[in-house]
Amino acid sequence: IYLRFLDYEMQNSNECKRNFVAVYDGSSSVEDLRNKFCSTVANDVMLVSALGVVRMWADEGSRKSRFRILFTTFQERKSLTQTQTHSL
């Protein structure tokens, strides 16, 4: 899964303690945390599992914080055996 942030604004950045967007690869458990964004920039993220979790946390003073993402999924092609042929 490829995630691209199209719009991102995090107000009142506070060292990622209360205002952030977190991206998890697989589940929302701590060990699956892939990236955590809390400043003015959110970079693209590539996940390797088939499940991604995006979590936003904003405190009372950050109500105007927001994000918008575009996600793209990829599926691996099965390798061709000798009995299969394909033309493009």
Domain ranges in the chain? 2-72
Polymer length of the chain? 88
Inform me whether the pLDDT recorded for 8 exceeds 50. yes
- Taking residues 56-79, what's their average pLDDT? 84
For residue 80, the model assigns a pLDDT of 53
For residue 58, the model assigns a pLDDT of 87
How far apart CA 56 and CA 66 sit, in angstroms, is 8
The answer for 87, left when phi > 0, alpha when psi is -120 to 50, beta otherwise, is: beta
Residue 38 main-chain phi, psi, to 5 deg: -145, 0
Cα angle 45-56-60, degrees, rounded to a multiple of 5: 150
Return the structure tokens found at 41: 């920039």
- Taking residues 18-42, what's their average pLDDT? 92
State pTM to two decimals. 0.78
